[in-house]
Amino acid sequence: FLPHLVASSEQVEETYIMVKPDGVQRGLVGEIISRFERKGFKLSGLKLFRCPRELAEEHYKDLQSKPFFPKLIEYITSGPVVCMAWEGVGVVASARKLIGSTNPLQAEPGTIRGDLAVQTGRNVVHGSDSPENGQREIGTSYKTQVLVFQT
Ligand code: IDP
Ligand code: MG
């Protein structure tokens, strides 16, 4: 029961948010967490890990046939990521809005990518695109991974 975060538990969802290696390396973890906290969502899990190749491929399996897929896997596995589960009413779609468009040059100012990134291939953060994928990604990418303590 969360009296100060939700007036009604209807439509409480979970989404998987991941600060990508460039975001961790650039020291943007606090900034990104802060934006979700200030919006009013609840952080329900967080960890730092280096994403193994197999997991990166599973996470992005819908993009397997894209020409940028090998570079994407290289990027995501290139350093530690900060993985989070966030919950709240409408959190999946709202998080996508807070994150902004995939191409940071098209992302609106005020969004994470609009304010903090330039290139699609270095767009600092991931957010699930549907409640179903939120559950899938929390199950595969969040729950199964082992912590790393060194960057
Ligand atoms: P999303 O992260 O906004 O949901 P998706 O289309 O699901 O965008 O793509 C996943 C990730 O793959 C993007 O965030 C970005 O890092 C990378 N990506 C997508 N399109 C391109 C591209 O055209 N070139 C390089 N990388 C891309
Ligand atoms: Mg996506």
What's residue 90's pLDDT?
A: 96
Question: Model pTM greater than 0.90?
Answer: yes
Atom of ligand 1 nearest to the CA of 60: 10
Rounded Cα–Cα distance for residues 83 and 80 (Å): 10
**The CATH number of domain 12-142, selected from 2.40.10.10, 3.30.70.141, 3.30.930.10, 3.40.140.10:** 3.30.70.141
Ligand 1 centroid from CA 102, angstroms: 6
pLDDT at residue 147, as a whole number:
52
Q: What is the ipTM of this complex?
A: 0.99
Residues classed as catalytic: 126
Question: Per residue in 43-94, pLDDT tens?
Answer: 999 999 999 999 999 999 999 999 999 999 999 999 999 999 999 999 999 9
Domain range summary for the chain, segments of one domain joined by +: 12-142
Task: Give the residue, 147 or 35, on which the prediction is more confident.
Answer: 35
Beta bridge partners of 83: 18, 47
CA gyration radius, the chain: 15
Q: What percent of the chain has pLDDT over 90?
A: 84
Looking at ligand 1, which residue's alpha carbon is closest to its atom 1? 102
Phi, psi of 49 (to 5 degrees): -155, 165
Q: What is the pLDDT of residues 109-126, one digit of tens each?
A: 999 999 999 999 999 999
Nearest CA to ligand 1 atom 17: 121
Could you please report the per-residue DSSP string of 55-87?
A: HHHHHTGGGTTSTTHHHHHHHHTSSEEEEEEEE
